[in-house]
Amino acid sequence: MQITRKAKHEAAIQAYGKKVAAMEVTLETRTGHAGRGFKKLLTLNDEEIQAIFDEMADEFLLEMELVDVSEMWDRLHEQTTRREGWITDFEADLQGVEAERRAMIELELGKLLDSSSRRRTSCRPRSSGWPSCRSSRSTSSSSPTARCTRS
């Protein structure tokens, strides 16, 4: 009986490990996709900003009219505002993936603990005069309850 419980426990632990590994692969793929997309956006943005600076260098700031300088500033500001938005979106994507990971792990740990507690009995042996317990599932909640009887 003890060996069977131990084998079931070890099987439950292995199943948990496999589920967590599969979840991590899925979430890692999503994180990688978000990161690659973000990196592409930043690379394009860097090129646009560099083009603006190159244009300013070609026209030499001293020869530019104030209106032209203001226009350049507005273009740069537009690029940085766009970049800030992408950074915020990327952060939100990563937080979403992390929240999903946390929820999935919590669910799987709950299942593991429920399966473990269903098989566990924790009262003293009957020969000692202490109550004996039978592990059972309560219909009103998901937590196990023990019914004890005096020997």
Domain boundaries, the chain: 2-120, 123-151
- Determine the Cα–Cα distance for residues 115 and 16; give it in Å rounded to an integer: 11
pLDDT of amino acid 49: 93
DSSP classification of residue 124: P
Mean pLDDT, range 1-27, rounded to an integer: 87
- Residue 36, pLDDT above cutoff 60: yes
pLDDT of amino acid 59: 64
Average pLDDT for the chain: 79
The angle subtended at Cα 56 by Cα 53 and Cα 57, nearest 5°, is 90
- Determine the Cα–Cα distance for residues 68 and 24; give it in Å rounded to an integer: 51
- Where helices occur in 60-151 by DSSP H, the ranges are 66-119
pLDDT band with cut points at 50, 70 and 90 for residue 125: very low
More confident residue, 40 or 149: 40
Mean pLDDT, range 22-42, rounded to an integer: 94
pLDDT band with cut points at 50, 70 and 90 for residue 131: very low
Q: What is the pTM assigned to this prediction? A: 0.63
pLDDT of amino acid 57: 80
pLDDT band with cut points at 50, 70 and 90 for residue 79: very high
What percentage of the chain has pLDDT greater than the value 90? 49
pLDDT of amino acid 61: 63
Q: Are 55 and 69 in contact (CB under 8 A)?
A: no
Distances from the Cα of 28 to the Cαs of 37, 89, 93, in angstroms? 14, 18, 12
Mean pLDDT, range 53-81, rounded to an integer: 84
pLDDT band with cut points at 50, 70 and 90 for residue 1: low
